[in-house]
Structure 1
Amino acid sequence: MAETDGTAPAMIGVIGGSGLYALEGLEEARWQAVETPWGAPSDEILTGRLGGVPVAFLPRHGRGHRLPPSDIPYRANIDALKRLGVTDILSVSACGSFREEMAPGDFVLADQFIDRTVARAKSFFGPGLVAHVSLAEPVCGRLRAALGAAAAPLELRVHPGGTYLAMEGPQFSTLAESRMYRESWGCDVIGMTNMPEAKLAREAELCYATVAMVTDYDSWHPDHGEVDIQAILATMHANVAKARALLAAVIPAMGAARAPCCHGCDRALEFALITAPEARDPALLARLDAVAGRVLGRGPGA
């Protein structure tokens, strides 16, 4: 319900990537199962409050890292968070770097994506209800700015923008691919999980921002050679502590109430539904009760 000043209750969703399987410091913390029309999410979701702000934490790969990138149930994950009342998503993930200055241990607040995944369901919509949302700016600038502001006093090495290349995996890049992404395509970092996650968040009218934690230089760097998984794991563990500090700072600063997104992320479906009402598939409409409830006038999103 909207407040008299135009704000509404906020709930911050955190999707934890490799190494980040729990969020410390939550009050009233409890793990809970969430059922979705798209199947089970990656794991139960840890809910609670951090600095008085409602939070829902979801380990992307499941606790213990059970799920490879291609088998993560992206649609179920986003639906489950929306169903719980999440309004904003902070995504945390490990990545490789194509830039000398984006060194292992640095964080990159990516603002663009190139999607090279091929084996994943990328939309909640389809036959029976066609929808087209804008992804020109796939990351919410408001959330990205909040992350940058929270990182400053922590003395983290944070890069305020960059293009994230999402690859299918689970193998790392060949040398030829790494050089192409870096030199011809102008990408800055590479990972396996932020797509279709960001696309689905936009379809669900959720503000989304990512914290890409650099673990390595992929395979292009002449002084580092091929990706070394042991080195990656060591850097990843150090990054997780820094990521927790960043989340502990940014979530209370965001507050428990929010105004409508100044970038329109929370209204992405306003004019996106193309299929005429009389031609819409009732079965698909029922599955969209949380994701598109606001524009369909049904379910928890209405």
Structure 2
Amino acid sequence: MSTTLTKPAASTALKTVFIDGEAGTTGLQIRDRLETTEGVRMRSIDPALRKDPEARKALMSEVDVVILCLPDDAAKESVALADSLGAKSPKIIDASTAHRVAPDWTYGFPELAPGQAEAVAKSKRVSNPGCYPTGGIALLRPLIDTGIMAKDHPVTINAVSGYTGGGKSMIEAFDSGKAPSFELYGLKLQHKHAPELVKYSGLTRRPIFVPSVGRFAQGMLVSVPLHLDTLAKKVDGKALEDTLVAHYAGAKWVRVVRASDPDFHAEKLEAEALNNTNKLELRVYANETYGQAVLVAKLDNLGKGASGAAVQNLKLMLGMAG
């Protein structure tokens, strides 16, 4: 096994991290972010041993946290390896879908609700949120918590992502020019993010979720259209803004961009402005004449939607400022 240090080894305060699957898109971005993270020492396995269970298990026993950047089945196998270590089992952040709705895992969206950041900090098993659900849940949860939206409200979530969110095959298709400029997908309405959207938004009715992908590498917009007269409480656009502002008061990485803010653009919104950050921006576009609104979340699908969120959760779990 080889070891890569991000900081001098002389410090006794260093925390050790192993990224299982560091060669993938999410793993590489996490590694890049950790290169500049104070107090973290990264451990890497010899590429020739990356599929060797005993070698991975041995390395897991020597680190504080393992971050899984693997397909679901492989992530489950890695968790089983870690669990077999008993008292030497490290903390785990799973970036796959495998444990997102598992009852014994903590959902790694610290801004979800009061106490969620503390729950992440205390947990040994944290599931990193999906990119689309991060936006959808961020918009919906405050409305459901305050009773503005009924839990069984019929919700539609539309979203567009950069193609890096689609994994190796989609990246290759776009990079090679074989993919179309834009396409809808998940049209069987069985997208793997739907259970996560239901559980952590507070909905009891499964939303209609329609994802899409465009010819740009990173960036994401998630939108929720609303007929205001169908909500459980009578609200206008400003009331929706106020609700989001109150929910995310004090949040470091989530910002509600009000219609009165100078960077609120009333007619258009592009997807890439937050690339390479861990920021999440929320906006309310309302037309009071027609009683309609569209809630929009903007984020980097590889930032707050993946690698940025993983590093934020890691810092919380290690007692660092997240």
The TM-score with structure 1 as length reference comes to: 0.27
- Name the one with the larger helix percent: 2
Greater relative CO, 1 or 2 (CA 8 Å, sep 6+): 1
| TM-score, length of structure 2 as denominator length | 0.25
Question: Which structure's CA Rg is the greater one?
Answer: 2
